[in-house]
Structures are given as structure tokens and as C-alpha cells.
Amino acid sequence: MAPFSREIADEPQTISSNEDFDSLQSWLESSGPAEYALYQIREPAPHLPYDEWARSAKALGMYLYHLTLSACDESDSEVGELFSSSACDFAN
């Protein structure tokens, strides 16, 4: 197994072309209030105040969940374009 490279891990990386997912902070700014409202509905009381929730694993988990969905959507669209263009080329 290769040793962990700190230099690579410290480089900023863009995973999604959607600006909402550039960072946890940008996601919280765009989707945090709505996700916090869902948290209050779904979870039994007592609820964390918004600031504590935003720093918790609950918010991070929702961010990672939506980031993964976004990445899958982008991958699916690229795969769909690949197959549709190949099918068109094959038909001619």
C-alpha cells in the first residue's frame, strides 16, 4: 500500500461542477436552512441549534450524501452521452 501523501490531500479539489458543492460552507449557505428544517421535522426533540447542527456530523453527512448524488448524476449523464453517440455512429 502506498504511503499517505500530505501534499496531495492538501490540494483543493473540485469534485462537482455544481458550485453548491464546492465546500461544506457553500452547501450550507445554499441548502443548509432547508436541510436544517428537515432535520427538525425528522429527528425527535431536543434539536441542536442551527450553528451546532451545521458543525455536526449530521450536516456533514447530508452534504456528503448530496455531493454523491450530484457526482452520480454527472457520471450518468456522461455515460448516457457516450452510449447515445456510439449508437448513432453505429447506426450509420
- Per the structure, the complete domain to which residue 44 belongs is given by 20-91
Residue 2 falls within a domain, yes or no?
no
Nearest Cα to 40, choosing from 63, 15, 58, 19? 58
Residue type, 33: P
Q: Is the pLDDT score of 75 beyond 90?
A: no
pTM: 0.58
Query: Within a domain: residue 4?
Result: no
Q: Is it the case that residue 16 has pLDDT exceeding 50? A: no
Say if 8 falls within a structural domain. no
Confidence of residue 18 (pLDDT cuts 50, 70, 90): low
The candidate with the shortest Cα–Cα distance to 25, out of 68, 55, 61, 46, is 55
Residue 38, domain member (yes or no)? yes
- Looking at the 3D structure of the chain, how many domains does it have? 1
Q: Is residue 10 part of a domain?
A: no
Q: Is residue 25 part of a domain?
A: yes
Domain assignment present for residue 24? The answer is yes
Q: Looking at the domain assignment, is residue 15 inside a domain?
A: no
CA count, 13 A, side-chain hemisphere, 61: 6
